[in-house]
Chains A and B, each alone.
Chain A
Amino acid sequence: MKQFVPFVLPLTIAVLATSRPAETRGPVDGAADKAGDKAIVHVLNRIAFGPRPGDVERIRAVGIDRYIDQQLHPPRVGDPGMAARLSDLASIGMSSHEIAREYELPQLQARRERKQNAEADQAGAPPKPDPLQQKANGVIVELAQQKVLRAIYSERQLQEVLTDFWFNHFNVDARKGRDRFLLTEYERETIRPRVLGKFRDLLEATAKSPAMLFYLDNWLSADPSGPHMEMLPPRVARGPFGGRVVVPGGPRPRPQGKNAPKGLNENYGRELMELHTLGVDGGYTQKDVTEVARAFTGWTIDNPRQGGGFTFNPRLHDTGQKVVLGHVIKAGGGESDGEQVLDILAKEPATARLIATKLARRFVSDTPPPALVDRAAARFQATDGDLREVTRTILTSPEFLAPESYRAKVKTPFEFVVSAARALGADVQEALPLVRQLQQLGMPLYQCQPPTGYKDTADAWVNTGALVSRMNFALTLAGNKLRGVSVASLPTADEVLVGDLSETTRATIAKASDAPQMAALTLGSPEFQRR
């Protein structure tokens, strides 16, 4: 979206120039100014990853409403510094095909050779670290660095917040097999461009993404009686008491490679309804799960080892009629069976409700006001699932700006680390140490095992161990002890926590021996753990 940059800057300046007289928020009225600044900090804590030095003044000049509107249109926001920050991360712009060629295949080749050379090694000592394996893991490490850098530096903050949110909604764990080579493209091509688009498009993009097809096993799911099945010839096998016996060939598939598709796999069908659309109370049955799984048979990956994309394989597809939530999907629909399922699910009121609830929970509070959820869900249905409009409904609601929403959310470790770096105006030359800190804080990036994604409520993140780790991180960061991350001029506690500083915290910080200690006591304070 670089073509927008030259256009954006003059616009911002124009807004700056015109909005000031109308807002009249100057040093004249101190109290009003403070209240206004608190609201600005609140907005920055919610639709951005917290304020950087100077952000409050910038938004005061533009106006909150205008800022929110800009953020809802990321291409209209110039982001000139981002490319340079990311330029060292070689893999983040690569396609899955390129990543397979550059990272995965060399590692597989080396592994095969090692296996041939040293079968004997397997039982004994733990395997030595393999440089190619480490290079392969580097793909996900670079992706994680990219995520941290964008969250800290991108001017398109809402887009980054939403990319984090929607990735988490359609979570894929990098540790599942090949997925560590697929998430780069998944986030860049599947998630990020669609976070303010139509939900139905995002849903289909994830359904067809190799990352999701692999993570929830749909790429292997096949009609058990389809044309790919063959009768097995009799084979000789080991008998129960060690001898050799002849096993008759049954109506079982002939394996074609290690992971050849051989039968129905319900994993995607279930999570699609439970987590991606209807929600666990969305009124579907085990029968619906099986029918949805049947509809998606044949949705698979083309040339998986080469990082191929989505393909529909009719030989794996169950051609019969399916009935999903009472809707009949006629026999013979082929690839469109799955698309029809997505149509059905995207239109269900339960889906609108789930998405509205989750977005309101992210932006407003752990227990979002029911009236707001109702309005956001209604907007979802009225706009055919237009996520920009649903998000706008929440961000422009009175509930969003209500004082009881201020600091109502406990930051996740990711939000904490990123907001701390932003608050200090840190210069991150190397993001890897920050990525490692997140592991320590219990939120390793791209490694959330269950398809549920990470929790977005305080109970998941407030515990003694995590709290101690947060204080330690504050000391390390503010003390300039994190390799590759430097902080120059440290802001005061009042600058960081605008209007939300308790008397005790203020007094405690005032007694600290030096500026780094003061900054650490600010970032590790109870106040800063919330947004």
Chain B
Amino acid sequence: MVSRRLFLKNGAFAFVSLGFAPSFLSRTALAATGRSKQLIAIFQRGAVDGLSMVVPFGEADYYRARPSIAIPRPNGENGALDLDGFFGFNPHLQALKPLWDRRQLAIVNACGSPDSTRSHFDAQDYMETATPGVKSTADGWLNRYLQARKAEEATPFRAVALTSQLPRMLQGTAPALAMSQIAQFGIRGGQGGDGAGASFEREYAAAADHLLNGTGKEAFNAIKMLKSTDPSRYQPANGAEYPRSPFGQALRQIAQLSKSNVGLEVAFADVGGWDTHVNQGAAQGQLANKLEDFSRAIAALVVDLGDRMEDTVILTMSEFGRAVNENGNRGTDHGHGNAMMVIGGNVRGGHVYGKWPGLAAEKRYEGRDLAVTTDFRDVFGEIVARHLGVSNPSAIFPGYSVQSSRYAGLFA
């Protein structure tokens, strides 16, 4: 058998690019990556209303600002789920409450961008590049992490987005894979299909077109590797039940990749529909339904990953929060600060981090929105440093001085 050292030196591609799909591949990948850390990033696109997610029921101003859409105080019907006597979960985040109780889930509140934009497009861009105010940044921060932490044993599945298009966060010079259905990943075509695959591979391998050449190579390496794990037969562990929604299915496939030992290190999924300008609803309604799906999917992922959660962090984010006052359509307009969740075996959970600025009119950002007291780059930076183990994350956050003194203390 080939020694592990040789394998690591040459990388998994040394085999797959020769056209072999060695049976020991998955075992070897496990040996190479078994203790590696995992980050699963979840983007709530459209700006989730953080004040309905993590409800500041201890603030009278919250109820004054939202006469028709506030989540009632705990203990009442459809009331918030008390977390610490001041904040409570939306009742539709019930599925995540056990993680809070087990201190595996932390919240960073009043978190966001120093940039004032209320454009979805720009704010998502800034959060994904981690360069607020700078649009010309070439790559996403997760891709810069991949660049900073060159892994010689990297497989094509080191960074995977369960989306049809690669998100900005993972775009950049380090390879990353986007696919919405892992079981369907491959060149089809019945008889002669294999021949077609090999022919396509030759075309792309020789292409002078740099972009298509590189992406083509990645594609064929990934196909071979995935084939060896037989993804169509996956059964979630520990009785985990994922919602049948696209988001639930995306997280199910992340668990599947994670447990297939194909070298998954960074995974990404997104979920839209949070842009609740009209009829947001309160404990029931549009937003409540979205949160139900969101929380059940994440809870299933945690159950399914089981022990693997010891090495895993799940991070949720959304481009900005929503205005404190409800608008004229029982909805909320674009705001500023928001809540992030950080979930994992080594997370110091059961605590709401971040200085709470309050909702009184004079405490608000530009007089209308939850102020930001934690720059999102401090959360990203802490995860990159303390969880993924990058000693100096400054290259990942250009134009920003990430300092451990500003870390919230999310990890033990």
Contact = CB atoms under 8 A, between A and B. Distances in A.
Contacts of B99: none
A521 B207 CA distance: 13
Interface string B184-218: 01111100110110011011111111011101101
Nearest to A223: B328
Given A241-B75, A471-B187, A526-B207, A450 B199 contact: no
Interface residues of A, number: 68
A508 interface: yes
Given A265-B328, A462-B212, A217 B72 contact: no
A448 to B, nearest CB: 11
B16 interface: no
B192 A513 contact: yes
Interface in B97-129: 116, 118-122
Interface string B320-331: 000000011110
A278 interface: no
A472 B188 contact: yes
Contacts of B73: 240-241
Contacts of B204: 467, 526
Nearest to A525: B203
Contact of A262 (B46, B188, B199, B328): B328
A242 interface: yes
B327 A475 contact: no
Contacts of B398: none
B177 A465 contact: yes
Given A442-B165, A468-B186, A471-B187, A265 B118 contact: no
Given A472-B189, A517-B192, A520-B196, A266 B333 contact: yes
B3 interface: no
B380 to A, nearest CB: 22
Nearest to B79: A240
A449 B121 CA distance: 11
A242 B78 CA distance: 9
Contact of A452 (B121, B185, B189, B218): B121
A238 B212 contact: no
Contacts of B177: 463-465
Given A464-B218, A504-B202, A263 B327 contact: yes
A232 B67 CA distance: 13
Interface of B: prevailing SS? loop
A253 interface: yes
B4 interface: no
Nearest to B200: A471
A254 B156 CA distance: 58
Given A265-B328, A280-B122, A502-B208, A468 B116 contact: no
B329 A458 contact: no
Contacts of A464: 156, 177-179, 215, 218-219, 222
Contact of A270 (B119, B165, B212, B244): B119
A101 B204 CA distance: 52
A254 B277 CA distance: 18
Contacts of B202: 504, 508
Contacts of B189: 472, 475-476, 479, 520
Given A464-B222, A465-B177, A526-B212, A222 B185 contact: no
A442 B179 CA distance: 10
Nearest to A232: B67
A480 interface: no
A259 interface: yes
Contacts of B178: 463-466
B152 interface: no
B164 interface: yes
B399 interface: no
**Which of B121, B188, B279, B329 has the most chain A CB within a 10 Å cutoff?**
B329
A222 B327 CA distance: 11
A250 B211 CA distance: 61
Contacts of A259: 278-279, 329
B166 interface: yes
B329 A217 contact: yes
Among A410, A450, A513, max chain B CB count under 10 A is at: A450
Contacts of B79: 240
Contacts of B120: 450
Contact of A475 (B46, B165, B187): B187
B362 interface: no
Interface in A506-530: 508-509, 511-513, 517, 520-521, 524-527, 529-530
A55 B399 CA distance: 52
A265 B196 contact: no
Contacts of A326: none
Given A467-B216, A468-B185, A220 B203 contact: no
Contacts of B334: 266, 270
A94 B133 CA distance: 45
Contacts of A460: 165
B171 interface: yes
Contact of B215 (A242, A462, A527): A462
B77 interface: yes
B95 interface: no
B241 to A, nearest CB: 14
A240 B79 CA distance: 8
A317 B67 CA distance: 24
Contacts of B192: 513, 517
Contacts of A471: 187, 196, 200
A222 B278 CA distance: 13
Contact of B277 (A217, A441, A530): A217
B328 A280 contact: no
A51 interface: no
Given A217-B278, A286-B116, A465-B178, A265 B329 contact: yes
B329 A220 contact: yes
Nearest to B208: A502
Contacts of B85: none
Given A464-B179, A465-B179, A505-B203, A242 B185 contact: no
B239 interface: no
A264 interface: yes
Contacts of A442: 164-165, 180
Contacts of A472: 187-189
B84 interface: no
A512 B121 contact: no
Contacts of A513: 192, 195
Contacts of A529: 212
A463 B328 contact: no
Interface string A240-258: 1110000100101100001
A39 B63 CA distance: 66
Contacts of A234: none
Interface in A467-486: 467-468, 471-472, 475-476, 479
A269 B63 CA distance: 28
Contacts of B59: none
A261 B219 contact: no
B272 A449 contact: yes
A283 B80 CA distance: 42
A267 interface: yes
Interface of B: 45-46, 63, 67, 72-73, 75-77, 79, 116, 118-122, 135, 156, 164-166, 171, 176-180, 185-189, 192-193, 195-196, 199-200, 202-209, 211-213, 215-216, 218-219, 222-223, 244, 272, 277-279, 327-330, 333-334, 366
Would you list the 9 A-B pairs with minimal beta carbon distance, nearest first? A263-B328, A442-B164, A262-B328, A504-B206, A465-B179, A526-B207, A464-B219, A526-B212, A463-B166
Given A240-B72, A471-B187, 17 more contacts: A217-B278, A217-B329, A241-B75, A252-B67, A259-B279, A275-B121, A286-B118, A442-B180, A449-B272, A462-B211, A465-B179, A467-B216, A475-B193, A504-B207, A513-B195, A524-B203, A525-B200
13 contacts: A238-B76, A239-B76, A241-B75, A252-B67, A253-B328, A266-B333, A442-B165, A452-B121, A463-B178, A472-B189, A475-B193, A504-B206, A513-B195
